[in-house]
């Protein structure tokens, strides 16, 4: 059967990342500054996680832990965008404290957040 070139790849299993929280949405985008493809989700630990791919393959990163942000509110959607004005990649979510959070990546490898 012709699959049209599509294939499945289990990012969670390949990277050892936590499972996605029930009802969590996904957000993905190309980070043209760091030359990374990023996929964001809320894990069962109520943290925002990122899968990103570079020349070495796929990796998992806990954005909430790295940025020191609060846990994600149950049912919170994610939004992400490349900020080409400041050369930052931004991920926004509603925290468990009901505040809107903005995590930003400043590193070329997608691992240093403020």
Is there a domain that residue 73 lies in? yes
Is there a domain that residue 111 lies in? no
Residue 111 has pLDDT above 90, yes or no: no
Is there a domain that residue 2 lies in? no
State pLDDT tens for residues 43-95: 999 999 999 998 899 999 999 999 999 999 999 999 999 888 888 889 999 99
Is there a domain that residue 56 lies in? yes
Please give the sequence-ordered ranges of beta strands (E in DSSP) within the chain, or none if there are none. Answer: 27-31, 36-42, 48-54, 57-62, 79-83, 88-94, 100-105
- 73/5: higher pLDDT: 73
Is there a domain that residue 6 lies in? no
Q: Count of domains in the chain?
A: 1
Residue 101 has pLDDT above 80, yes or no: yes
Is there a domain that residue 29 lies in? yes
- 110/16: higher pLDDT: 16
**Per-state percent for the chain, helix, strand, coil, to nearest 5:** 10, 40, 50
Q: How far apart are CA 27 and CA 31, in angstroms?
A: 13
Structure tokens at 108: 């070329």
Is there a domain that residue 77 lies in? yes
Q: pTM for the full model? A: 0.86
Domain limits at 75? Answer: 11-105
Is there a domain that residue 113 lies in? no
């Amino acid at each position: 059967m012709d699959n049209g070139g599509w294939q499945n790849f289990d990012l969670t299993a390949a990277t050892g990342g936590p499972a996605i929280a029930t009802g969590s949405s996904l957000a993905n985008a190309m980070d043209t500054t760091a030359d990374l493809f990023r996929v964001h989700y809320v894990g069962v630990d109520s943290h925002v996680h990122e899968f990103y791919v570079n020349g070495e393959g796929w990796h998992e990163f806990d954005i909430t832990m790295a940025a020191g942000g609060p846990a994600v509110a149950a049912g919170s959607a994610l939004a992400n965008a490349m900020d080409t004005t400041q050369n930052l990649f931004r991920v926004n979510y509603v925290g468990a404290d009901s505040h809107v959070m903005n995590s930003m990546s400043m590193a070329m490898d997608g691992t240093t957040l403020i």
